[in-house]
Amino acid sequence: MTDALVKVRSKFVDKVSKELINQLLDDLLEDRILNDGEKDSIIEDHSSRANRARCLIDTVKKKGNIPSQKMIDHIQTRDPTLYCELGLSCGNRGNPNIHPSGNPNIHPTAETKSDTLVPITEAFWREKQNNREIYPVTKANMGSRVALLITNITFRVEKYNRNGAKKDEENMERLLTELGYEVVKHTDLTAKAIDRALIDFSALPKLKATDSVVVVIMSHGKLGIVHGVEWKLGDENPDEFPINNLYRHLGSKECPALLNKPKIIIIQACRGEHSGSVFVSDGPSVSDGGDIKEDTLQVVHREKDFISLLSCTPDTVSYRHTGQGSFLIQYIVSQFNKTAHEDDVEELFRKVMQQFEDNGPGNRKQMPTKDRCTLTKRFYFFPGLNAL
């Protein structure tokens, strides 16, 4: 993104208005890309519009790719016409609309796309029924499946709005429905409302008969946190939902109805501000060690039968296309459609992760993470079982 600012520097200096410069300064100050001293210096040391523009763009590009991309994002939000005139719009500079928690202008390759869920055969389902290494699924249990879908799209601070997230919501609702889940859907929740939605979900009568649940939460976030729609940078009491609450509300103590049943968690949210790519030398060194300690015996395990797929590794960002939705959800839907009739959930998640291994333009890398996996058996969704 630094290269992109370099390429548009002359046009930016020529065309940007003083009003837009002031707006960008406020945005970048709020993002903590600029500090008060840098903002004041750009304004006070440069009386002409052009000189302020030069100083602004030069200051930001020196800070690296992520600050440069955020400035580009603000230009797109504040002045879409200038954004296009600078050649930052689709098709003029490769893959423009890529930024943390927002706009990658790239799509899954054609071979990864699949729009139709392949159903199982009755022979496949019957083959799995007597296998003790597989969680049991019956037609009766499948009829009680329920899923929770929470999507935050519109935020109190307009620039945090998650363009493309509506597509994610539509894609996930369709996939979950086709997998046999009744979808309990919520949109634009605060952190407190997310917590309440999970508590209410954990008390649903259908959980007693279901074979599994799926919970999908899509929003902005950081490590261990999902942001509610009232979140604002710098708030003394930020609108933040601790992800640990999810496991507590659905765990053995608070939700005994889900004891020994798979709980599949999907979270699409950034877990930090860093890029998911690094430059390495010859190869990684491996360190092995640590003590093995015996766990304390309990009547039941506090947290068991969970599997979670988070959109990126700790401290890094995830990417979303403004028209097609996030890469994670696109790849999940495509992979599930293609192989959920023969793969268990862990294998499905592995194949989703594999799609990220080579995809992504340049150094914009994202690697989903399987987290807190306590499944003791294999779980198959058995799509189409009720139709057999």
Residues with a catalytic annotation lie at: 220, 270
Q: CB-side exposure of 95: number of CA atoms within 13 Å? A: 17
> Residues 6 or more apart from 180 whose CB is under 8 A from it?
142, 143, 145, 381, 383, 385, 386
Q: Quick check: 271 and 219 in contact, CB under 8 A? A: no
Name the amino acid, one letter, at 151. Answer: T
Which has the closest alpha carbon to 19: 53, 61, 57? 53
How far are the Cα atoms of 64, 71, 72 from residue 58, in angstroms, in the given order?
11, 12, 13
Q: CB-side exposure of 105: number of CA atoms within 13 Å? A: 11
State the DSSP H helix or E strand holding residue 112, giving kind and residue range, or none if neither.
Answer: none
How far are the Cα atoms of 145, 177, 265 from residue 380, in angstroms, in the given order?
13, 16, 15
DSSP state of 257: G
For CA atoms 177, 179, 181, 185, the dihedral sign is negative
What are the structure tokens assigned to 184, written together? 């309990």
> How far is the C-alpha of 129 from the C-alpha of 11, rounded, in Å?
66
Give the other-Cβ count within 10 Å of 138's Cβ: 14
Q: Is 32 buried (19+), middle (13-18) or exposed (0-12) by CB count in 10 A?
A: exposed
> How far is the C-alpha of 16 from the C-alpha of 92, rounded, in Å?
19
